[in-house]
Amino acid sequence: MSIDKHRLPVRGWAATQESQRRDVTRKALLAAGALSSLLYVVATDVVAASTWDGYRRTEQMVSELFAVGSPGRDVLVPFTWLYTVLFTVFGVGVWNSVRGNRALRIGGGLLIAYGLWNIMGALYPLTLGDDASIPMHILATNVQLALMVTAMCFVAAGFHGRMRVYSIASLAASAVMGVVAFMAAPGPNLVLGIGERISIGAFLLWVAVLAVALWKRTTAMDSKGAPS
């Protein structure tokens, strides 16, 4: 049986091109995570807060900006859907970047779920001056927080070295300051406004750092399947 010597290089080139296309797609998905964090800050504390005369960033909750009756809601409703899309595809990017690492795969799946759960937050927002809206909003928020914390735990377990330490530190900062802010509610007060923003900011920054950490780590796995 004869072998066409010209076919092997062609097939090899095609495989290389396909691999490069997949890698470009993977990196674009990861970049969506960093973009989602940046847009969150811009949309909330820059754009939406500026539409609310008298809103105090250091003393009031971010969730108030999303509330029905908030002057910034018209800005944040379309942003919520954009953030949901960006974060969900980021989760897909994490999933595609960590084949062979079960902990990171689970973390990626939980990040996808976290992104999609934003829909529930949009369906059950706070309504300014209406205490009846609080219970469902708290329930939706707590489920999302549980997804966030669990995802960060699995990602930390899936890494070795500095990224594991950073993930644990970020989780601790976000959780502790979140509890501090919750205890300071309803405010307004400095502990509530600043504490909540530290909690949110720690998570947003962690998302961006995770995207960078996975950017060039398609095959950078050690013998146990964990990024070095």
In order of 54, 72, 159, 162, 211, the CA distances from 156 in angstroms are 40, 35, 5, 10, 14
Model confidence band, residue 87 (pLDDT cutoffs 50, 70, 90):
very high
* Phi, psi (degrees; rounded to nearest 5) at 191: -65, -40
Looking at residue 7, its pLDDT comes to 54
Note the helical H segments in the chain.
7-41, 49-50, 63-66, 73-97, 102-123, 134-158, 162-184, 190-215
Say if residue 226's pLDDT is above 70.
Answer: no
Q: Which range, of 15-29, 88-102, 131-145, 146-160, averages the lowest pLDDT? A: 15-29
Give me the chain's average pLDDT, please. 86
Looking at residue 37, its pLDDT comes to 97
Looking at residue 8, its pLDDT comes to 47
Say if residue 100's pLDDT is above 50.
Answer: yes
Looking at residue 22, its pLDDT comes to 79
Say if residue 218's pLDDT is above 60.
Answer: no
Looking at residue 224, its pLDDT comes to 46
Model confidence band, residue 220 (pLDDT cutoffs 50, 70, 90):
very low
CB 67 within 8 A of CB 128: yes
Say if residue 151's pLDDT is above 60.
Answer: yes
- CA 177 to chain CA centroid, Å, is 17
Looking at residue 169, its pLDDT comes to 97
**Which residue in 161, 68, 165, 69 sits closest to 123, CA to CA?**
68
Say if residue 116's pLDDT is above 90.
Answer: yes
**Which residue in 220, 226, 179 sits closest to 199, CA to CA?**
179
What are 192-211's pLDDT values in tens digits? 999 999 999 999 999 999 99
pTM: 0.86
- Cα dihedral value 114, 77, 193, 198, nearest 10: 40
Say if residue 143's pLDDT is above 50.
Answer: yes
> How large is the average pLDDT for residues 95-114?
93
CB 118 within 8 A of CB 80: yes
Give the number of other Cβ atoms within 10 Å of residue 27's Cβ.
17
**Token pair 């897909």 is at which residue?**
92
CA torsion through residues 139, 44, 211, 227, sign: negative
Looking at residue 84, its pLDDT comes to 95
**Which residue in 91, 95, 87 sits closest to 118, CA to CA?**
87
CA torsion through residues 79, 141, 177, 71, sign: positive
Model confidence band, residue 1 (pLDDT cutoffs 50, 70, 90):
very low
